Structure 1
Amino acid sequence: MKFKHANDSRVTISELMLPSHSNFSGKIHGGYILSLMDQIAFACASKHSETYCVTASVDKVNFLKPIEVGELVTMKASVNHVGKTSMVVGVRVEAENIQNGKRKHCNSSYFTMVAKNKDGVSVAVPGLILKDKTSIRRFVRSISRKEETKMRFNRFKESEFILEDHMETLKEYAVKVEL
């Protein structure tokens, strides 16, 4: 099996945010940022796997701080975890006011990418060389996120969901149950 360092596939892109990227409130549209994040995750995963990749899932994306027109957005992507045919790519988004140099972390997310051959069949990806505490933490954190997602999915499967177990919880929320 082939192994690669995360550094071998890291990708960084920077783009100046233009008025055409903004939403009705004058901030950069979240959908535009998500599109850029998907592109950099694709580039990173493709570099690691040396083949075409598709997005299988995107972990939760929290928009921490708004991005302004005129700011320079820099995105960094790195392979944090590999499976047999999939990779978890961590993407970090920062914005910089180019007039005063002030930077802010705007969001981070994790993209699960699957390597495909020219016929669209999933193919094996190289293993990942973990060289320091940070790379080990990122790898193990990805395993934990995967397990939490699986537990969350199974806990609320329609076939196993017991309505009575959750009725009390609903009383704390602004909902009206009409069964």
Structure 2
Amino acid sequence: METYPVDKIYRQIEPGSVLLVSTQNKGVPNVMTMGFQMMIQHDPPLIGAIVGPWDYSYKALVKNKECVLSIPGIDIIEKVVDIGNCSGDSDNKFEKFNLTVTPASIVQAPMIEDCLFNIECKVVNTELVDRYNLFVLEAVAAWKNADKDKIKPFHHHGNGIFSVEGKTINLQDRMTKWKIFQD
């Protein structure tokens, strides 16, 4: 074994698909790129999301307590990276990056049709926001873009490095304890 920089360990414990987070504040929508999130539980579906005061979307999330998490595919990876490299305080990112939006069914933030999935969320816990910038979100509605079934999501490994989901290994027959969660 050799030492490894602790501040780079997040690149090994990769949190999941890169997400786009849509918010709306005073009727003005914004979108940001997020690489740090996690599933917390299945029922109700809770998601932990790191959004800090350095993010323009932070104020809207604190104020309105809702957002849309969109899972982009590899087909728009360059847009997703570019969205993360500018701020909503000076750019209308939906226009700048030619994103196709549609109204959500429950929350005010828009969904992004260019993405594989859209998950409407409500903030249900903010106890860890001040200390860790961690919002607990409950998924209240979800949408799949059937036109993008063959497009893969991608994962962030830090410093501009991404991986694309690839080969799937199905071991459902071994999941005897968790059969209730299988599709």
Q: TM-score range by the shorter chain?
A: under 0.3
TM-score (norm 2): 0.24
TM-score (norm 1): 0.24
Which structure: greater helix fraction? 1
Whichever of the two has the greater Rg, that structure is 1
